[in-house]
Each structure stands twice: as structure tokens, then as C-alpha cells.
Amino acid sequence: MPPLLPKRLSSDHWILLSILLCCVGLRFGVVVLRFDELNNDPDSYLGIARNLSLGNGYSTPGTDTPTTFRPPLYPVLITAISSEELAWGRGLLNLLAAAGSLVLIWKSAEHLGLSRSGRILAALIYGLDPLLLRYSSLSMTETIASFMSALLLWRLTVPAGATDVRLAHSSIWRDAFMTGIIFGLCVLTRPTYWVFAALYSAYLGWQFLRFRSVEASTFLRRSFAVVVGVALVVSPWLVRNLIVLDAPILMTTHGGYTILLGNNEAFYEEVVNQPFGTVWDGSNGPGQAVWANNINLKMDQIGLKAEVDRDRWMSSLAKETIRNHPELFLKACLLRFARFWNVVPSGPAAEHVHGSVLYAVGIYYTVIWFLLVTGSVSLFREETNSRQRWVPIVILVISFTTLHLVYWSNVRMRAPIVPALALIAGAVTTGTTSMMAHRLKRLYQRSSIS
């Protein structure tokens, strides 16, 4: 595994240190100003963590009923600091995760061959991201998920020499095993990473079958090591769910709710069929809260008490709605795409936010999206070998976007891919090192000929 910290600070590292002080300082200010929010619990992570600290197991807040409604990594991380008095500990965790992400993005940018200006731009785009700044003062998974993405991309963008097939077998095994460990932690933070795994595995398999760049034994050994690493991290969660809930749940029981939330007749009628920007607040019908209450009452009436059964029922109902309304489903997919990539938050996330702040956020993200598109064009113009280094970054963006075409979507769902977006936007500068070297080589050849 490549080292993160150098033995001696260079000018680049002083620049990185300055960015760290600036961006983490901004987050510290947000945490101080909105400190009370650290004890809010909109997603029940705090309640689950407090149950763990009390010895009640991974259970629904306020009960001792086992749950798999939320992924386990974050509640486990904050178990020891879940009390109201230790809210500062959760704020500190967010600050440390942000600092770690900045370092990892900088190192990934080096692996990708970005110029100094490109590395600075990528780090600043992540460090100043309004979405992540906002969630610095909340006990939620956005900051941790973005850190896990940065960590995963750092592993997958290691320099070519670190994965050379001539390395010792033990080194090949160790590096692949560590990648599996990191990925396992990712899926225990957000199950959406499983989509990334499917797409990236398909790409690697296609690359192997097409080019045979490594021996079959080496490819299989690496793949097996990754699987072992993932299994080591994820299997306790799977086994626990099998024992406690009598169901081999690999992800969570949250999927049925989130797919139904974005694919039901009430949402289609009150939001999808309305002008863009319409919020599901009851202005065009009963509203989201009434719908959710009716769904819970219906499940109670038909005798669905177990969390697993309710999840499966909601998933089945969503799929039925999609089959019955294919045109509205496609329209809803376009709406979810627009919400995922929106330049400003909407709905509850935009409440109590001054209009001038929303305007500034909109301008910021509009500029970033322009850089993102321009950076993507720059990547397509690179040489094939250099371009391939960007594949995991692009696939991470595609995987999260694709999933949220079907499941519930808003700006918040974009948080885990901010490190990837920052790196792509960083390619908009003078060009990556490889591109510049190629241009200089061509210039030298022309001058020699003349």
C-alpha cells in the first residue's frame, strides 16, 4: 500500500496543509454555529448507536427489536460517542473524515497524473462543497460516506508500479485483500456501493477477456483476495441478520421503502405530473406524510409486522406501480436524475435557508458542473492507458446516478461521489501530466525535424 505521509514536506505538501487548514476550519465553523444539530436524529443512527451502548443490540430506537433498516458502520463508529454530552465527538469525527478525504483526494490526483493546479482544484472543490459543509454538523453518514469513497478511489487509482504483475505473490495478495477490506467498509456505510462493485467487476472481467494483460492465475488470485477481504468485513452483518431475523440480508431493509417512496401513485400524481420543482408537501394532494401513514396502516391491517416482510411488500408494491405506469415511471426517472444533479437543494433541505445562500450555492454548483463537463472532455482526449486509470472514478459516478434513477433521489444522495466529481473537475486545468508530456514530446519531435 502506498504511503500517505512523506518523510519531508515539499512545497506541494505545504499547499495541501494550507488547504486542510482552510477547508477543515470552515467545517469547524459550521459545527460550532450549528452544534445543537449534532443531537438531531433524522435517520435514527443515533438511536441505534445508543441502543448498542446500552447493550440492547442493533435495534430500533426506543425498543429492543432487532433492525436492519440502516447500514451498520456509522452507528457502530459512534456508539461510544452517541450520548448528548459527547456530541463534540461526532463533530470531531466529521472533521477528521473531511481532513482524511482531502489527503486521499490529493494522493489520488497524484496517481492520476494531475498537475499541481489540478490537484489544488480537486482538493478545493471537495473542501468547499456546500453539501458536505452543511452535513458537517449532523450525525448522519454523508461525511463518512464521502471519506469511504475517497479511500476506495485512492486504492483503485494506485500507480501502475504498485500493481505490476512482476510483484511478489504475497504483495499482490495483500494489496487486493486490503482493497476488499475497504470495499466491505464502503457497503456497510451505503449499500449503493454494491452497484459500483457489479459495474466495476464487469469492466475488469471484460478487460481481462479482451486484452489478457495479466496471467489468468494472477487475475484469479487478485479477485479471490478481494472477495476474501469483502467477506471478512461483510459476513458478520450477514450472519447476524440470518440468526436474528431469519433472513440472509446482505444490505438493509430500507430498499423497499426508498423504491416505493419514489414509485407510488400518489407521488406520480402530486409531483411527477406537476411542473418541475414541485415538492411533495401536500399542495397538490394529501402529501407525503399522509401517504406514508396510509402505507403503514395498510401493512398493519394485512398483518405485516416483521421488518423483512414489510420491506418485501413495499418493494413488490413499487414494482407493481412501475409495471402499471411505465410512462410515468420513465418521467419519474428523469425527475430523479434532475434532483440528483440539481444545483440547489429542494424540499425540507431548503427550508430555513436564506434565498441569497441558495442563490450562491446554485452559482457554485453551476460552475462546478461546467468544470466537470470540461474535465470529462479532457479525459477523453488522453491516451488510452492514461484514460483507463479514470475508469473506477467514472463508474462510481455512473453507479450512484443509475441507482437513484429508480430509488428516491435528492441532492443529498450525491454526497458519496463528491470525491470522484472533484477529481474529474480537476482535469480541467492545463492538463494531466501525461497529456503535457505527450504534447512536449510531439513539440520536440517537430522541432527536431525542422
Per residue in 15-72, pLDDT (tens digit) is 999 999 999 999 999 999 999 999 999 999 999 999 999 999 999 998 999 999 999 9
Task: Look up cell 440468526; give the residue.
Answer: 243
The amino acid at residue 263 is N
- What is the reported pLDDT for 164? 43
Instruction: Show the DSSP H helices in 135-252 as ranges.
Output: 142-156, 169-187, 193-211, 216-245
Q: 354 burial class (0-12, 13-18, 19+ CB within 10 angstroms)?
A: exposed
- What is the reported pLDDT for 172? 75
For CA atoms 50, 51, 53, 57, give the dihedral sign: negative
- What is the reported pLDDT for 443? 46
Burial 79-109 (b: 16+ CB within 10 A, else e): bebbeeeebeebbebbbebbbbbbbbbbbbb
- What is the reported pLDDT for 5? 56
Instruction: Show the DSSP H helices in 271-325 as ranges.
Output: 288-301, 307-324
Residue 441 C-alpha cell reads as: 514530446
- What is the reported pLDDT for 448? 47
Sequence ranges of the domains in the chain: 11-252+341-449, 253-323
- What is the reported pLDDT for 217? 78
The CA distances from residue 109 to 11, 18, 121, 296, 424, in Å, are 16, 17, 10, 47, 9
**Could you tell me which of 144, 126, 141, 147 has the C-alpha nearest to residue 26?**
126
Q: How many CB atoms lie within 10 A of CB 67?
A: 23
Residue 178 C-alpha cell reads as: 486490503
Length of the chain counted residue by residue: 450
Task: Look up cell 473531511; give the residue.
Answer: 98
Please identify every stretch of the chain with a pLDDT value under 50, giving residue numbers as ranges. Answer: 160-169, 432-437, 439-441, 443-444, 447-450
Rounded Cα gap, residues 438 and 184, in angstroms? 38
- What is the reported pLDDT for 434? 47
Residue 140 C-alpha cell reads as: 448522519
**Could you tell me which of 261, 260, 237 has the C-alpha nearest to residue 248?**
237
Tell me the β-bridge partners of 124: none
